[in-house]
Structure 1
């Protein structure tokens, strides 16, 4: 039997591929649901699902797009205009990706020695002419990559840190809810999935694995024996030394854990606000250019201390906005009471729109947020490479003695870390490694 630890899309993709190949598989998931860092909730008052985890398909996103299509889900490309907050004014951002690329395009994938993105910025690339672009790029790295600019690798960002082709700039969302992807995977292999099973220890030697686990509700043993294991848990769980969710390996796969520690788990915090009406469309005319309007706004960028980026549900016209904080801002909010985080989000949006916090708060009909940093089975949002860690994902993806295999977005060596399609690809890669090993 092949044991898969984790029923996020990486683990489910690995298990599905192995089951399709005729292998006996058992999937163990600590939560009482599948999907991992895809977390979709629904409210009868809204036409759209609420995504508390992964929301977008980035670029072509072939694996995620194929999975959505196979599940019969409706995928819609994000359209609309990006705006920027500049002092007391909102201005059309225009070519957002072009502005980011003017800075990230100066990064060197062969930089020796490697350095942090902040160290790169401190060299003042582009001089005063690119001052605003550098700020945009810094916010992009912290937000999109959920990374600390002072820690993330220049070499890693240079190799896949920003879209290189127009098709890679594409964003799309699953209008039926992103949870339809893991649900469709799980439906196909439902009889091999056990939820509410917390893995504590993996004992192994070549060709044999003993997984010590307990029932999440009762604490009773739920141990399993197998010939191989796919470890498809988030990086934050893989590198955890203690606490709920931590897994002990005996013996330790030292090379893999060393590679994992050259990566870091970034955090991201979002607050979704539902309004009685699209409040951003009521912004003062003095705040926007003459004859401009915000009815087709998709993103609103700025440098707010708590939630620097906001977006709407475009192309669907709905009275909902999402506030986003990535990197150090998100970690700073992890563990705070939910009411405090929501208040910060409301105040942030009020500052951007030039309205009082009371006015914005009075228009809010519902709010949602989730603390991934405090979730013991995630310990953050998604991964990024530390200085010196630009090849760590490739090392993490290697099989150990044809017995230990690793999957998850952190182990995708194609620059797709932090994405659903990268996670799916990593699970399918792990399954192929196992099948090749069985043929030898």
Structure 2
């Protein structure tokens, strides 16, 4: 009997999980050989998980260089008792507790379990405030007001994905010109890529609060970073991985009733994400099923025949009528600085500092793994907020250097938040991050390394995060999770990835992506078995 072939398009968390599940299911239940191929267009694995080793000049080793690993993509494990949590346990990867403000709303999850604290920066008032559970009702009444308001939404018994929207903004329930309203706008606007809290009404907010509250405890980072998860997954399916393999055609072959996959091997995509794909069709393979885990915007550049369902086509093209939302940009940056910005004697991290009226609305701090008294300051922004940051940086530094300028803006925000103490965070950057107009100061003064990544310029992701619009997320995910080409009795094409994650949990998470990959693999196996192609062990 000839081997059954399944191609998994994309080598991120969902794709590698799908490949692992295919191998496990095949060996456990069938005697027929199954060949699994993971075709990843880029030269790396990980998808939205992107580690970066930043060189740090360190004088104590004789002027040598050490490398601090930062995560420029997905970073946190949200909640527990899901596939990612099980995988970490199986691989003996420790979870390092992290305190993450749920949706940036001022309600930190897992606060008592973590040594980290949560803080807020009110940009309009130039005020930096730390969250302390014992004083929110007295010295910080605005924070208690915000928490009570949002928690009441989460506690609403009617807060389901089918809840009707009210047309009333969540901010409308807060006092005008108040700290709490300012923080709500900053937190929700950034996290949901909406750009402004006014675009989220109370019905949508209830949905998000319920989803995130289910994951409220156990937030953490994997020891070694989220990239460790990819490394472990890849080790289990290493023989299946094909890097630099760009899939450009997925078509049903009527003669064999299989799927014809056209691809380019040893492929190097141009930096411009809008460049036309090569018209080379020399490499083809007939397969029994395809699991597509790439981003939906990337799917719009693949020739699929017969055409995909309307909901998928609109989502892939970023149509304004699509029930799937698409953030055209998402930017993450990290600067490595000498000394803790918020106190030389501090030994606690700050996970999730929500900053209103700031170009970087969400930042965090952690102690670096290398060197003495080095700290990593990370910034994240998406959606219209990211577009605003990009525009500001292009105007300041030009199109060629705007990514470097995002790090300079982050340093300026540190100046504003904590005061420069006569040292000046931005001035300390010098030429280290390409800001040739700044005062050149030896890196050992304050800033010792920096890195930034813009997902909108990624030729494979082709933009920021993709997720079902709210409300109605359950219906959209069900449509995306369903096997495609419904006219075929045993459909051969399945989707997985960030837009197809489970409803029972936080959206746009690594564990939801992994679970979508496992689900697609099981459906693909069932579909192939339904055609009589696989011989059961039973």
Same fold (TM over 0.5): yes
Give the distance between the partners of 2:283 and 2:70, measured in 1 at CA. 33
Alignment correspondent of 1:233: 294
- Determine which structure has more spread, i.e. the larger CA radius of gyration: 2
Give the distance between the partners of 2:73 and 2:55, measured in 1 at CA. 19
Answer whether contact 1:29 1:198 (CA < 8 A) is retained: yes
Matched, 1:106 2:139: no
Answer whether contact 1:48 1:175 (CA < 8 A) is retained: no
C-alpha spacing 1:63/1:145, structure 2 compared with 1 (3 Å): farther
Which of 375, 378, 386 is residue 330 of structure 1 equivalent to?
386
Which of 306, 319, 322 is residue 251 of structure 1 equivalent to?
306
Alignment correspondent of 1:270: 332
Give the distance between the partners of 2:147 and 2:42, measured in 1 at CA. 38
Alignment of 1:64-79 (within 5 A): 64-78=84-98, 79=114
Question: How far does residue 47 in structure 1 lie from its aligned partner after superposition?
Answer: 7.5
C-alpha spacing 1:297/1:174, structure 2 compared with 1 (3 Å): closer
Alignment of 1:309-388 (within 5 A): 309-313=362-366, 318-334=374-390, 336=394, 337-355=402-420, 359-361=424-426, 362=428, 363-386=446-469
Alignment correspondent of 1:306: 359
> Which moved further from structure 2: 361-370 or 58-67?
58-67
Matched, 1:9 2:13: yes
Alignment correspondent of 2:108: none
C-alpha spacing 1:264/1:110, structure 2 compared with 1 (3 Å): closer
Alignment correspondent of 2:481: 397
Answer whether contact 1:121 1:134 (CA < 8 A) is retained: no
Matched, 1:41 2:47: no
C-alpha spacing 1:98/1:377, structure 2 compared with 1 (3 Å): farther
Which of 426, 434, 437 is residue 516 of structure 2 equivalent to?
426
Alignment correspondent of 1:412: 501
Question: How far does residue 357 in structure 1 lie from its aligned partner after superposition?
Answer: 9.8
Please list the CA deviations of residues 285-336 of structure 1 after superposition, one character each: whole Å capped at 9, or x if unmatched. Answer: xxxxxxxx85435143221431122211269875111122232111334584
Alignment correspondent of 1:81: 117
Q: CA RMSD in A?
A: 3.2
Answer whether contact 2:501 2:515 (CA < 8 A) is retained: yes
Matched, 1:28 2:39: yes
C-alpha spacing 1:209/1:277, structure 2 compared with 1 (3 Å): same
Please list the CA deviations of residues 147-169 of structure 1 after superposition, one character each: whole Å capped at 9, or x if unmatched. Answer: 44466686554334456648624
Give the distance between the partners of 1:60 and 1:179, measured in 2 at CA. 18
Answer whether contact 1:114 1:154 (CA < 8 A) is retained: yes
Question: How far does residue 432 in structure 1 lie from its aligned partner after superposition?
Answer: 1.4
Which of 213, 222, 243 is residue 195 of structure 1 equivalent to?
243
Q: What secondary structure does 1:279 align onto?
A: coil
Question: How far does residue 203 in structure 1 lie from its aligned partner after superposition?
Answer: 0.9
Question: How far does residue 396 in structure 1 lie from its aligned partner after superposition?
Answer: 0.5
Q: Name the TM-score, length of structure 2 as normaliser.
A: 0.70
Please list the CA deviations of residues 166-192 of structure 1 after superposition, one character each: whole Å capped at 9, or x if unmatched. Answer: 862442112312111112111111111
Give the distance between the partners of 1:259 and 1:131, measured in 2 at CA. 39
Question: How far does residue 85 in structure 1 lie from its aligned partner after superposition?
Answer: 2.3
C-alpha spacing 1:166/1:12, structure 2 compared with 1 (3 Å): closer
Question: How far does residue 413 in structure 1 lie from its aligned partner after superposition?
Answer: 3.5
Instruction: Point out where structure 1 has 5 or more consecutive residues left out of the alignment.
Output: 241-245, 283-292
Answer whether contact 2:363 2:377 (CA < 8 A) is retained: yes
Please list the CA deviations of residues 17-63 of structure 1 after superposition, one character each: whole Å capped at 9, or x if unmatched. Answer: 10122232111110111111111122464685210111111122622
Alignment correspondent of 2:185: 138
C-alpha spacing 1:208/1:120, structure 2 compared with 1 (3 Å): farther
Give the distance between the partners of 2:422 and 2:192, measured in 1 at CA. 29
Q: Which structure exhibits the higher relative contact order, with contacts defined as CA atoms closer than 8 Å and separated by 6 or more residues? A: 1
Alignment correspondent of 2:262: 212
Runs of 4+ in 1 over 6 A off after TM superposition: 314-317
Give the distance between the partners of 2:346 and 2:214, measured in 1 at CA. 24
Q: What secondary structure does 2:172 align onto?
A: coil
Q: Name the TM-score, length of structure 1 as normaliser.
A: 0.84
Answer whether contact 1:309 1:325 (CA < 8 A) is retained: yes
Give the distance between the partners of 1:111 and 1:132, measured in 2 at CA. 31
Answer whether contact 1:60 1:167 (CA < 8 A) is retained: yes
Q: What secondary structure does 1:57 align onto?
A: coil
Answer whether contact 2:249 2:302 (CA < 8 A) is retained: yes
Q: What secondary structure does 2:84 align onto?
A: helix
Q: What secondary structure does 1:313 align onto?
A: strand
C-alpha spacing 1:367/1:314, structure 2 compared with 1 (3 Å): closer
Give the distance between the partners of 2:243 and 2:421, measured in 1 at CA. 46
Give the distance between the partners of 2:308 and 2:244, measured in 1 at CA. 26
